[in-house]
Structure 1
Amino acid sequence: MVSALAVMAPAASMSSLERIYVSSEDFSSEDSLRGLYERWYALYRRDGDPEEKEKRFSIFKVEAHTVYELNEAGARVKHHLNWFADMTQGEYDDSFASCSHRKTPHRDEMKLNRQQPSQYYADKLPVTVDWRTVEGALTRVKHQGECGSCWAIAATDAMESVHFLENKKRTNLSAQELVDCNFHNDGCKGGTAVNAFIYVINYGIQSSEQFPYVGRRTDCVMPPVKPVMAIRNYYHLHPRNEKMLMETVAKRPVVVLVVGANTTTFKHYSGGIFRGPCGIDRKHEALLVGYGTTPSDDSNDPGVKYWVLRNSWGESWGENGYMRLERGNEADGGLCGIMEEPVYPAHPYAR
């Protein structure tokens, strides 16, 4: 990936107050558009090669127009100029919308690791579930940088959560260990949370303090300490089963496949209930951490059912690193296919 994208780490600590939106005044002249770019650049890049910066400005201008038009269209979803704003679509697609190699599991694997449906679902599923409100259940939103490691971050996020829920111990696990040492995945070129879980079943996993994240694949050199935890198993949920997914998310976060994150609306999502469109083919992995329904204003606005998705693109993306996307469309696998192959780790234990 181009060198201009190598300085993305500062975006991980941004709050929603530092976001850059686009107004009509920004297009009043080339100078005003240049000023918008400089404000954005100071937040997301800060330094770089002047020639590369000028090249990126031409991409930024197109993205700024696109974001402005999306917001002017009156959609309830908002968009802003996040850290994708000077990337080509191909750069975004390759590292961020295509970081999962997940395929439908082999039939034998499905039989062994498929969670059996409850004979009876809970009489009353919780109306709202949001693991962000449970202190310790989630660590801070991570930032994958230019490495296609969404699969590793989704897997460690899920294991951190179940480890806390089982043992009441908050632990930051090493996504970098999975990138470097999980040879059944392809490091920064993509992988699957399932293969990450299999690795941790066999070898355990270090903390991120012992094996910190650097955002690129390096040599697999294990620190001279024992793994901080392992898991005994993982389970696939039955696909296209909304009640089962809700029931499971009410007990723990779940890793989901996101199909078609390679759209402008997904890329520049800033807030609201995402209703699509989703693209096709490109696959991403993220963590489902809740669900709910927006308040009903009147009979003409009955409220919108949604899922809460935790991403790995830092806190400057979405709603401080999260997305609310419309719930439903069970027969089609849910919006962006998130009900196609949910999976979660189970039975963590400390080592």
Structure 2
Amino acid sequence: MGSAALRAAVLLLLGLGVSARAPPETAEPGLSQAELTQMFEDFVIRFNKTYGSPEERRRRLGIFARAMEDARRLQEAAGDAARFGPTRFSDRTEEEFMGAPLTPLGRKPLTSPLRSPPGKPAPPSCDWRKAGAVSCPSDQRTCGSCWAFAAVANVESLWFIRFKKLYKLSVQEVLDCSGLKDACKGSNLSNAFGTICRRGMNTAMSYPYEAQQGRCRWNQSNVVVRIQGFQTLPSNESELAAHVATRGPITVIMNARLLQHYRGGIITKHLASSCHPNRNHAVLIVGYGQEKSIPYWIVKNSHGSDWGEEGYFRIYRGGNACGIAEFPVTATVGQDGDGGTAHPGHCPA
């Protein structure tokens, strides 16, 4: 790692708001190994990291140094559109962060593909968070459960839009009751929506998240939400925007490479061209907009509210950026528990 890259890494680390003992911005190039080690120590303290052995700690230091170089390159490519730098994932390899590719759908949806009403173009912007239709971002932690989080978040939002009740629903129920051998190693959206459809959903309060798979403890008397099925959507992003605006958030899968060092702003079309073809992360599109002539999606992640833009990220809309429009899916929520018909809501701009 060259001295210029190390200096850039120091400047990125200073953005964490911790007291890193490193040369100021005007310092001469030529950082020592001791200075790089101190940068890593500040990172360890900031994110409360622990390692099993001195050897593992040294290995993570090397990974951290390479991560800072990767973040520097991304920042140069992004300009002022997005911000990249240290995150709690900066001591992980790209393979560790990305995990195994997700299979979009393991079986056919329970209803036919859904198309948005013709002749109704999408409004210029939409943000379901402003309507109170989106629960706070959660943290999947070390469990590869994004597929369950993204499906559950979709159901939460659709239920609120139709019945004006926002429940925080149990992701743990989906993991435990999915029938998978190891639900924390990833799965597909059919497993998530299928599990929800068969059983209905308990709340997260009655069935809390544990970040590991356990015995299915679903309780029929605690069911608060049911869905009728799930549907695939067209990959056309104009149609997707119209669907989001008129019917609610949608679940998608994408390549997560650019999220490892993401700290804010819009992942542009140019940046998205560096994504891998493998789609390995499920997320929820909750709205869209445009800033400085860049159209974007607003996306809810499952890395907690202290990641990215308070748990969300924005990514270019219109070019299938990082594969985000390839496999959109949504639950079918048509009746409440008493058989009443649902009514769509209005998405705030």
User: Matched residues in 2 for 1:202 and 1:53: separation?
Assistant: 45
- After superposition, what is the alpha-carbon deviation per residue over 1:187-213, rounded to whole angstroms, capped at 9, x for unaligned? 111112232222222111111111111
The amino acid of 1:43's aligned partner reads R
User: Matched residues in 2 for 1:339 and 1:54: separation?
Assistant: 40
For 1:245, the equivalent position in structure 2 comes to 240
The amino acid of 1:182's aligned partner reads S
CA contact (8 A) 2:115 2:239 kept: no
Shift of 1:315: 2.5
C-alpha change, 1:223 and 1:104, in structure 2 (3 Å) is: closer
User: Matched residues in 1 for 2:59 and 2:87: separation?
Assistant: 18
For 2:322, the equivalent position in structure 1 comes to 336
For 2:46, the equivalent position in structure 1 comes to 43
The amino acid of 1:70's aligned partner reads L
Structure 1 regions of 5+ residues with no counterpart?
Answer: 1-15, 296-302
CA contact (8 A) 1:27 1:33 kept: no
Shift of 1:153: 0.1
Shift of 1:224: 7.3
User: Matched residues in 2 for 1:50 and 1:27: separation?
Assistant: 29
Selected match of 2:288 from 291, 296, 306: 291
Alignment of 1:211-250 (within 5 A): 211-223=207-219, 225-238=221-234, 240-250=235-245
Alignment of 1:145-184 (within 5 A): 145-183=141-179
Alignment of 1:297-312 (within 5 A): 303-312=293-302
Which secondary structure does the structure 1 equivalent of 2:281 belong to? Answer: strand
CA contact (8 A) 1:309 1:322 kept: yes
Is residue 190 of structure 2 the alignment partner of residue 194 of structure 1? yes
Alignment of 1:63-74 (within 5 A): 63-73=67-77
For 1:7, the equivalent position in structure 2 comes to none
What is the RMSD of the two structures over their aligned residues, measured on CA atoms? Answer: 2.8
Alignment of 1:248-287 (within 5 A): 248-250=243-245, 251-258=247-254, 260-261=255-256, 263=257, 265-275=258-268, 276=272, 277-287=274-284
CA contact (8 A) 2:137 2:302 kept: yes
Alignment of 1:121-132 (within 5 A): 121-122=119-120, 124-132=121-129
Which secondary structure does the structure 1 equivalent of 2:275 belong to? Answer: coil
C-alpha change, 1:319 and 1:268, in structure 2 (3 Å) is: same
For 2:103, the equivalent position in structure 1 comes to 101
The amino acid of 1:318's aligned partner reads G
CA contact (8 A) 1:102 1:283 kept: no
Report percent identity of matched pairs. Answer: 30
Is residue 90 of structure 2 the alignment partner of residue 85 of structure 1? yes
Shift of 1:244: 1.6
The amino acid of 2:193's aligned partner reads F
C-alpha change, 1:65 and 1:243, in structure 2 (3 Å) is: closer
For 1:54, the equivalent position in structure 2 comes to 58
C-alpha change, 1:32 and 1:324, in structure 2 (3 Å) is: same
User: Matched residues in 1 for 2:242 and 2:204: separation?
Assistant: 30
Aligned residue pairs total 312
Shift of 1:336: 1.6
Shift of 1:33: 2.1
Which secondary structure does the structure 1 equivalent of 2:70 belong to? Answer: helix
Shift of 1:20: 10
- After superposition, what is the alpha-carbon deviation per residue over 1:263-288, rounded to whole angstroms, capped at 9, x for unaligned? 3x332112222121211124221101
C-alpha change, 1:204 and 1:219, in structure 2 (3 Å) is: same
Structure 2 regions of 5+ residues with no counterpart?
Answer: 1-14, 339-349
The amino acid of 2:326's aligned partner reads E
Shift of 1:102: 1.4
C-alpha change, 1:18 and 1:129, in structure 2 (3 Å) is: farther
TM-score, normalised with respect to structure 1:
0.80
TM-score, normalised with respect to structure 2:
0.80
User: Matched residues in 1 for 2:262 and 2:19: separation?
Assistant: 12
CA contact (8 A) 1:121 1:243 kept: no
